Structure 1
Amino acid sequence: MNRPLRALLIAAVLASPALGATDVSMAGGDIRFPVPDGWVPIMQSEGEKETQVFQVPGSSAADATLARVSIAVQKVPNLNGFQQFSGNLRSHATALPEYAPGKANSPTENVYTAKEGAVKLDYFERYFYSKGYAIQLRCIRPAGDAKFSAAFDKGCADVAARMPS
C-alpha cells in the first residue's frame, strides 16, 4: 500500500468518533451519539419524551442485572424548558429510597446514591441542551466491583463526551 493512502486510512480511523461503538439516533435523527458495543438495548420508547435504556453487562450477575444507562430526550421550547426538565428529574431522584447526594463536578451533573430493592446503587446524571431538546444521560451501577465500576464509568464518560451540545 502506498504511503499517502495508508496515511489517509489511518487518519480516517483516528477521526472516527467511536471505534467499537454503536450509533444511536433519537428525536427523529436530531440527536445522535455512540454507545459501547457491549451495551445491550433493553427498552425504547417514543413520544413526547423519548427514552432508550441499555443494560451494561458486568463482572457478576448482580452487576449484569442492575447496571444500566438511560438516555431521555424531550423537545423543549427554550432554556427555561430545559431547566424545568432537569429540575423535574432531579426532584424525582430525591424521592428515591435512601437518597444521598454526592459531589457533582458541574451544574449539569447530579451524583447520588439510592436504594433499589435491597441494593444500594450509584447514580450519575448529566444534562444537555441541543437543537431544542433537553437530554438526560443517567448511569446506574451497583458499588463494590472496582474493575467493573471503572469500565462502566469510562463508558458513561465517553457517551457524555460525545453527546451533542
Structure 2
Amino acid sequence: MPVEKAFIGLGANLGDARATLDAALAALQQLPQTEWLGCSSFYRTAPVDAHGPDYLNAVAALRTGLSPQALLSALQAIERANGRERPYRNAPRTLDLDLLLYGNQVLDTSALQLPHPRMHQRAFVLAPLLEIDPGVQIPGQGAAAPLLAGLGDQTMQRLGETR
C-alpha cells in the first residue's frame, strides 16, 4: 500500500474534552505504519446542526500506509476507547474522529466517504486544516481557503498554538 497524507478531524464536547483530545492525539501518534506530521491549535466552537455544550476541535496530519478503511477502523477503535457512543445523529460526544482527506482519493461507500462530505461547510474543520496546511486542496471543491471565507457566520475561538 502506498503511503498517503491523511487529515483527521477531532472534536469533543462531553466530559474533559481537552484531556480526551490529548489522549486521542497520543493514540494517533502510535498507529502502525503511520508517521505523525502535526496538529493544529484547539478551537472552541458552537455545535453546528446539533445541540449541547461547545466543542473543542482540531485537525491532525498523518502520513500513513494504512488503507482508508483500516485507518477508519483505527479511528473508531480510538473513539470507543474514549467512551464514544452513538445514540443518535449529531449527539454530543466524548470524542469524534473524522477521516477528512486521504491523499487525493475520492471514495463513496456506505462506511466511508472521502473527502468528508461536509468538511467544506464547516469552519471548525477548515480553519484548523488551513492552519497546518495553508495550500490544502479538497477534491471536488478546490482550495480550502476561499471556502472558509464564505463561512463567517460560524463563530470559533482559537485556543492556542499549533500542537
TM-score normalized by the length of structure 2: 0.35
- The structure that is strand-richer by fraction is 1
TM-score normalized by the length of structure 1: 0.34
Whose relative contact order is higher, 1 or 2, with alpha carbons under 8 Å and at least 6 apart? Answer: 2
